[in-house]
Amino acid sequence: MKGLKLLAFLVIISLACYRYWRCRVENKVEDEYWAQIGCQSPPRWSAKWPLGLKKVFKGIMSIKDGAVLQFLLEEYEASGTTHEQWLLGSRSDLGLGHRTKNFAPLLGSGIFTQDGPAWKHSRALMRPQFASNRYENFEEMRKCVEILIDSFSSSGAVDLQPLFFRLTFDTATFLLFGKPMSSLRSIEVASQESEFAKAFRIGQGYLSKRAQLGDLYWLADTPAFRHACRTSRRFIDQAISQSLETVDTKQGEDKKQYDFIDALIQETHDMKVLRYQCLNILLAGRDATAVCLCWTIYLFSRHPHVLAKLRSEVAAVAGLDDNATSPSRELLKKIKYLDCTLKEVLRLYPSVPVNN
Ligand code: HEM
């Protein structure tokens, strides 16, 4: 046993030495290249420990403490906004880097994990969802918001975060399946949604840890992670099976609406392809929007004059209460202060603060 431990230790040390040596050689080659073309090399991320180990450790701890932005701010202040980083001896040029392999257990192959022609194809499938000014979209979202407001208790205090996640779960599933899964309405779906939400959150936590580890991403793999991936898959598979069952009846209908799942099903009935495409869109449509809503309300409570100004703009452009005009893309464009407010919220508290 002692011998085995020693062997493992020696293997790790040798790997670390090899990576360290590789970094130095590649840095030298790069420096020569920059000198040859008369260009300055990007500043390197200052790291005191070899292989940026201290940064990796600090980064992981910041995720644990929910302080990633603070960590990044300190790092950028120390190294500048443009710099080159080699963490654990690995570096990725512009592109998805290790994302495809890292995200695979939870997100398989979908718009977030694809590159090149596969990504282009997913993008084309998604485009009609955003291209048209669909009345049904606004109408369905209005209903989801009304249900959200009805669910507030009259006692005063309300924890909005889980409600926003359910709201955006509904709006995202509407975009995907043409109908919201109505987690705010039905207790049965709400409990399935919360099981899925928990699993998806655990899964995403692992993806983030794996991203920190560079090409050693595979080290962050546990039964809990695999279980979370299975639960997420099971949930989405059920919704897809329902769509597959109804696909024949839908074909006879004169459908005005474009649902992402219908477009996918026209191409394939392969469960794996359908599942991962849907999980990718669910991730895209649910989390970033819910997080943005949470921060917006938080900031409104601290800056009530912004809320008052926004409210008067909405009243002037669209009207309030029963007299309000139904939302449309044209109408939203006229509410300029809303656009500015959301942009400022995203600037201060970006929903997606790190991209690879
Ligand atoms: C406040 C809300 C949102 C924010 C801040 C946001 C932010 C982002 C960011 C930063 C990316 C790039 C991620 C990356 O590849 O690294 C992205 C991609 C994407 N988002 Fe959003 N998003 C929001 C809402 C939505 C919604 C509601 C949908 C609808 C389903 C959506 C669909 C997508 C899709 C499909 C992609 C992948 C695009 C591609 O790779 O071509 N997003 N979003």
Give the atom of ligand 1 at the shortest distance from the alpha carbon of 114: 40
289 pLDDT exceeds 80? Answer: yes
CA of 277 to the centre of ligand 1 (A): 14
CA of 17 from ligand 1 middle (Å) equals: 39
Euclidean distance between CA atoms 69 and 34, whole angstroms:
32
Residue 66: Cβ within 10 Å count: 8
Structure tokens at 265: 């099903």
pLDDT at 119 over 80: yes
- Is the CB of 175 within 6 Å of ligand 1? yes
| Nearest partner of 223 among 215, 212, 231, judged by Cα | 231
Q: Sorting pLDDT into bands at 50, 70 and 90, what band is 355? A: confident
Ligand 1 atom, smallest distance to 112 CA: 40
Q: What's the pLDDT score for residue 203?
A: 94
Grade residue 183 by pLDDT with cuts at 50, 70 and 90. Answer: low
Q: Distance of CA 170 to CAs 128, 188, 222, 245, Å? A: 19, 14, 30, 21
Which residue would you say has higher pLDDT here, 112 or 354? 112
- Distance between Cα 334 and ligand 1 center (Å): 23
Contact yes or no for 262/256 (Cβ under 8 A): no
- With CA atoms as reference, report the closest residue to 338 among 317, 300, 310: 310
The mean per-residue pLDDT over the stretch 285-313 comes to 95
Give the pLDDT confidence score for residue 11 in this predicted structure: 81
Ligand 1 atom, smallest distance to 342 CA:
1
* Model pLDDT, residue 130: 72
Residue 36 included in any domain = no
* Nearest atom, ligand 1, residue 355 CA: 16
For residue 10, tell me if it sits in a domain: no
pLDDT of 25 > 70? The answer is: yes
For the Cβ of 107 lying below 6 angstroms from any atom of ligand 1, the answer is: no
Q: Is residue 67 part of a domain?
A: yes
Closest Cα to atom 28 of ligand 1: 285
Per the domain annotation, does 29 fall within a domain?
A: no
Q: How many domains in the chain? A: 1
Query: CB of 284 closer than 6 A to ligand 1?
Result: yes
Does a structural domain hold residue 300?
A: yes
Q: What is the pLDDT of residue 60?
A: 82
pLDDT above 60 for 252:
no
Calpha distance 177→148 (Å, rounded): 20
Does residue 38 lie within any of the structural domains? no
pLDDT digits (tens, 9 = 90+) for 256-267: 566 788 888 888
Query: In angstroms, rounded to a whole number, what is the distance separating the alpha carbons of residues 345 and 350?
Result: 7
CATH of the domain at 291: 1.10.630.10
pLDDT over 70 at 205, yes or no: yes
Ligand 1 site-directed mutation target among 176, 351, 356, most atoms within 8 Å of CB: 351
Structural domain includes residue 54: yes
Comparison of pLDDT for 257 and 287, the residue scoring more: 287
Give 49 Cα–ligand 1 centroid separation in angstroms.
Answer: 35
Range from 93-97, 144-148, 346-350 carrying the lowest mean pLDDT: 93-97
Confidence label for 94 from pLDDT (cuts 50, 70 and 90): low
Q: Is residue 97 part of a domain?
A: no
What's the chain's length in residues? 356
Which domain range does residue 64 map to?
49-82+106-348
pLDDT of residue 92: 56
Residue 352 CA to ligand 1 center (angstroms) comes to 9
